[in-house]
């Protein structure tokens, strides 16, 4: 998606990733690719800031989902509990799928 300023805005693949984090990832990528490291922040500092921000927001996201699940359990909405739990286990549906080896006979 192209912004009015001409910048390309990428869409986050995970629900806890914010646009600010994506911008920081772009900053890290551009500083890593530049040949002169004299200006701006070192790559390690940017990486550390990004890691702290993603860990914090992921933890908050999971806590919010768990609070919603507990509220659904308190009210007896078991179908909503199932859908929220399914949201947390995204790897099962989006990860690598292994298929069993079949015998040729």
Nearest alpha-carbon partner for 46 in 15, 74, 24: 24
Query: What does the alpha-carbon distance between residue 89 and residue 27 come to, in Å, rounded to a whole number?
Result: 30
Task: Tell me the backbone φ, ψ of residue 8, rounded to 5 degrees.
Answer: -95, 120
CB 105: neighbour CB atoms within 10 A?
3
If you average pLDDT over every residue of the chain, what do you get?
Answer: 77
pTM (global) more than 0.85: no
> For 48-91, what is each residue's pLDDT tens digit?
888 999 999 999 988 998 899 999 999 999 999 988 888 777 66
* For residue 36, pLDDT beyond 90: no
Select the more confidently predicted residue: 38 or 12.
12
Residue ranges of the domains in the chain?
A: 21-32+40-92
Provide the pLDDT for residue 84.
Answer: 86
Distances (CA, A) of 87 to 11, 17, 27, 28, 65: 18, 15, 30, 29, 9
Distances (CA, A) of 68 to 15, 47, 63, 75, 90: 16, 32, 9, 11, 17
């Amino acid at each position: 998606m192209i912004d009015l300023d001409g910048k390309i805005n990428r869409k986050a693949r995970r629900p806890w990733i914010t646009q600010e984090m994506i911008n920081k990832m772009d900053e890290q990528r551009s500083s890593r690719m530049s040949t002169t490291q004299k200006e701006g922040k070192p790559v390690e500092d940017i990486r550390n800031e990004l890691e702290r921000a993603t860990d914090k927001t992921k933890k908050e996201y999971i806590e919010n989902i768990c609070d919603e699940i507990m509220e659904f359990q308190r009210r007896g909405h078991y179908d909503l509990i199932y859908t929220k739990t399914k949201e947390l286990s995204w790897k099962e549906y989006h990860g690598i799928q292994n298929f069993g080896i079949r015998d040729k006979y």
